[in-house]
Amino acid sequence: MANFPSTLETLIDKFASLPGIGKKSAQRLAFFMLTRSDEEADAFAAAITAAKHSIRFCSVCQNLTENEICPICASDRRDHSVICVVSEPRDVLSIERGREYNGTYHVLHGVLSPMTHVGPDDIRIRELLERVAKEDIQEVIMATNPDTEGEATALYISRLLRPFKVRVTRLAYGIPVGSNLEFTDNATLNRAMEGRTEMLPD
Amino acid sequence: MANFPSTLETLIDKFASLPGIGKKSAQRLAFFMLTRSDEEADAFAAAITAAKHSIRFCSVCQNLTENEICPICASDRRDHSVICVVSEPRDVLSIERGREYNGTYHVLHGVLSPMTHVGPDDIRIRELLERVAKEDIQEVIMATNPDTEGEATALYISRLLRPFKVRVTRLAYGIPVGSNLEFTDNATLNRAMEGRTEMLPD
């Protein structure tokens, strides 16, 4: 016997197939699972199946949802003339956490990345254009990450939107609130300088 | 909506309950699972259930097995008068890999650890004593890890075995084969010096 029992080997292989989990970690996780109660292990398995089978993409904004249309797109308390474009579902959560934004979202599920062969057809750009073409959209706010790929994606989409009569904006760059100048990198400082706004004392 | 859909939140929580997996990693793993095909996700869930329900402890040596008795304990080609005591199932694999040892094993499933409140009743010591009392055992080889807890566990068990007429041995300490003196720590060097053996040139 130079192996674990086959069902255990299978479970180790499954864990090892997850991103960022090596063979040793997979072994550790599989052993941990064996130490749980039957109920806990079954609940874990059921959670995978339930999530996988019940989660789909909102037919409007492409965010993850358990319904045909997500709660935000279905809400009549949101401003449906504004679309905030983000790359991942978790970005929606980040912006919602701010409790300021009251428009809708569009989740691209990725960014353009020539290095990893992600092109315009691999992310949900077409669905965004269809929305802008069909619905009465006043403004599209580009809120992809402020890195090279996020910038390029925002720029690419803003060009595609040019034919439509819609205002396209980008999240402001600047010094994070609560941060200080000493620890702010040069690129951010320069952007903050360029984007400086009038101070209007009362 | 300041949350993901509830089935997704549940899955994230499940992953986060695994050792060494934080909230962010759990999110990443759950998202990864959503990108898999239905078949792959179901296979993952099934692997958990299958392993959990089919794996048990060998009634003799306490190693993980899918049967009442593990292949090693059931084999008539192994020397059943020798027991090698290890702390974890993976240690059995390590020793089997060497293809030298032909006796049986006893898996403790842990080591004594006052710091984390693991006492003699929390690991499979009683089962070992029963084996030594009932079976015709000639030698018990202590093969716990050469760290403080492994040493203490080996010492504790060797004392319990004193009343039985059985030879109790410990794996040799020394310089790893293929290593060199320069990079060998002092404790190991001292142990290697103490345990020096006669050279017998032909």
Does the pLDDT at position B202 exceed 70? Answer: no
B72-198 CATH, one of 3.40.50.261, 3.20.20.70, 3.40.30.10, 3.40.1360.10:
3.40.1360.10
Are the C-beta atoms of B18 and A32 separated by less than 8 Å?
yes
List average pLDDT for each run of 10 residues in chain A, which is 202 residues long: 81 94 92 90 93 92 93 95 92 84 93 92 95 93 88 91 89 79 78 72 62
**Contact status, residue B62 vs residue A34, Cβ threshold 8 Å:** no
Strands of the sheet with B103-107, listed across from one edge: B103-107, B79-86, B139-142, B167-170
Whole-structure pTM value: 0.72
How near does any CA of chain A get to the CA of B202, in Å? 36
CATH topology of domain A6-54: Helicase, Ruva Protein; domain 3 (1.10.8)
Q: Which of A25, A36, A40, A44 to probe the B interface (max B CBs under 10 A)?
A: A44
Domain ranges of chain A: 6-54, 72-198
A162/chain B closest Cα distance in angstroms: 31
Yes or no, beta carbons of A28 and B6 under 8 Å apart: no
- Partnered with residue B142 across adjacent β-strands are B85, B170
In this prediction, residue B199 carries a pLDDT of 61
What's the gap in Å between the CA of A163 and the closest CA on chain B? 32
- Does the beta-carbon distance from B43 to A14 stay under 8 Å? yes
- Closest residue in A to B18 (Cα) is A29
**CA pair distance A95, B92, nearest whole angstrom:** 51
Structure tokens at B7: 């089935």
Check residues B94 and B125 and name the one with the higher pLDDT: B125
| CA–CA distance, A16 with B171 (Å, rounded to integer) | 32
Q: Do the domains spanning B6-54 and B72-198 agree at the CATH topology level?
A: no
- pLDDT tens for residues B163-200? 998 899 888 888 787 777 777 788 887 777 777 776 66
The answer to whether ipTM exceeds 0.95 is: no
List pLDDT tens digits, range B143-157: 888 888 988 999 999
Asked if B36 and A28 come within 8 Å (Cβ–Cβ), the reply is no
Residue with tokens 């009038």: A198
Could you report the per-residue pLDDT of B72-102, keeping only the tens digit for each? 999 999 999 999 999 999 889 888 887 888 9
Stretch (H or E) spanning A79: strand A79-86
Give the pLDDT confidence of B14-68 residue by residue, as tens digits: 999 999 999 999 999 999 998 888 899 999 999 999 999 899 999 999 999 999 9
Of A4, A42, A89, Cβ closest to residue B4 = A89
Q: Using alpha carbons, list the distances in angstroms from residue A155 to A111, A146, B107, B128.
A: 11, 12, 61, 69
d(CA A80, CA B20) in angstroms, rounded, equals 41
**In chain A, where does DSSP find H-type helix?**
6-16, 23-35, 38-54, 71-74, 89-97, 125-134, 148-160, 186-194
Which pair of tokens denotes residue B165?
A: 């007429």
State residue A111's pLDDT score.
93
Question: What is the rounded CA–CA span in Å between residue B146 and residue A1?
Answer: 24
CB within 8 Å: B49 and A27: no
List, as own/partner pairs, every contact residues A128-132 make where C-beta atoms lie below 8 angstroms and the sequence separation is at least 24, other chains included.
A128/A83, A128/A85, A128/A157, A129/A160, A129/A161, A131/A60, A131/A83, A131/A106, A132/A83, A132/A161, A132/A164, A132/A166
Instruction: Give Cα B52 to chain centroid, integer Å.
Output: 18
Question: Would you state the pLDDT for residue A145?
Answer: 86
